[in-house]
Amino acid sequence: MRLTLKIWRQEAPGATGRMVGYQVDDADEDMSFLELLDVLNEKLILSGDEPVAFDHDCREGICGSCAMVINGEPHGPQKATTACQLHLRHFRDGETIVVEPWRAAAFPVVKDLVTDRSAFDRVIAAGGYISAPTGAAPDAHATPVPKANADRAFTAAACIGCGACVAACPNGSASLFLGAKITHLGELPQGRPEQDDRVVRMVEQHDAEGFGGCTNTGACTVSCPKEIPLDVISQLNRDYLHATTGSRRSA
């Protein structure tokens, strides 16, 4: 199939970029979107041009690297699918496809489609963990977890930290990501002791990184390749309220 690509090209952080058009005549509908970019890049290299820089790693939808907005939608038009798992059969022959990097002040463009998402690492470092002593691993069944809590924790734990929620959000908020981490850890007994501190510190870091506030628009869930539900944001708000009011505020 023949495809026209319009891709954001930007040489370096802070440099002015622009959309550049490319033609790929030998695309195959069984190719993934990243393979399409590979094909394009081989051509660019052969003709002595600079290949399009983009992030990728696992190419199987689990690492969250492949960040790109395809035709205005983070990870493209396919529901619950990362860009690396998106196949060209979802596009029409002759179609023009617009590819842009995540747009958020907290995710500055490094080059072309590559953005610096280390803001997420710092949000995680602020509280997205549990403290556990090292040593012999405890028996897996030593701590019982009710099925409902385990299910909810698993649903939230599916978040791969890709940042599509931020890219989709009109406020550049990372609330869905935050809520996923808060819910994932807070639903489990191991995450409870640090529940209050976690939410306060993570929200603080989230705001300091320059992410915006949530207006419950819901664009995040629609774009999330892991279909993290909107109610994790409710959990985040609930935990924060609990942590910042009442007498149980821990140090």
Partner 1 sequence: MVSLVPRTNGDAPTRRTPRPSSVQLKYVMAVSGAVMFLYLVAHMVGNLKIFFGAESLDLYAAWLRVVGAPALPEQTVLWLVRVVLLAAVVGHIVAATILARRASRARPVKYAHRSRVAGSYAARTMRWGGVIVALFIVYHILDLTTGTLNPNGVYGEVYANLVADFAPQRWYVTAFYVVSILALTLHLRHGLWSALQSLGRTRGGNLAALRATANVVAIALAAGFLVVPLSITFGLVS
Residues that bind ligand SF4 (CB under 6 A): 159-165, 176-177, 180, 224-226, 228
Could you tell which of ligand FES, ligand SF4, partner 1, none binds residue 87, using a CB distance below 5 to 8 A set by kind?
Answer: none
Using CA atoms in the order 49, 31, 103, 179, what is the torsion angle rounded to 10 degrees? -150
Q: Please enumerate in sequence order all residues whose Cβ is within 8 A of that of 209, keeping only pairs 6 or more positions apart, or say none.
A: 106, 119, 122, 123, 174
Among 84, 86, 104, 178, binds ligand FES (CB under 6 A): 84
Q: How far apart are CA 38 and CA 153, in angstroms?
A: 36
Burial grade of 110 (CB within 10 A; 0-12, 13-18, 19 or more): middle
- Smallest distance, partner 1 to C-beta of residue 71, A: 5
In degrees, rounded to 5, the angle at the alpha carbon of residue 106 between the alpha carbons of residues 103 and 207 is 130
- Smallest distance, ligand FES to C-beta of residue 55, A: 7
- Smallest distance, ligand SF4 to C-beta of residue 40, A: 25
Contact string 56-75 vs partner 1 (x = CB under 8 A): -x-----xxx---x-xxx--
Instruction: Name the residue nearer to ligand FES (CB basis): 61 or 179.
Output: 61
Q: How far apart are CA 69 and CA 8, in angstroms?
A: 10
Among 7, 36, 64, 102, binds ligand FES (CB under 6 A): 64
- Smallest distance, ligand FES to C-beta of residue 162, A: 7
Among 75, 117, 198, 226, binds partner 1 (CB under 8 A): 117
Q: What is the largest CA-CA distance in the chain?
A: 68
**Residue 61 binds ligand FES, judged by CB under 6 A:** yes
Query: Residues in the site for partner 1, rule: CB under 8 A?
Result: 6, 8, 19, 55, 57, 63-65, 69, 71-73, 77, 98, 100, 103-106, 110, 114, 116-118, 120-122, 125, 160-163, 168-173, 203-219, 222-223, 229-231, 233-241, 244
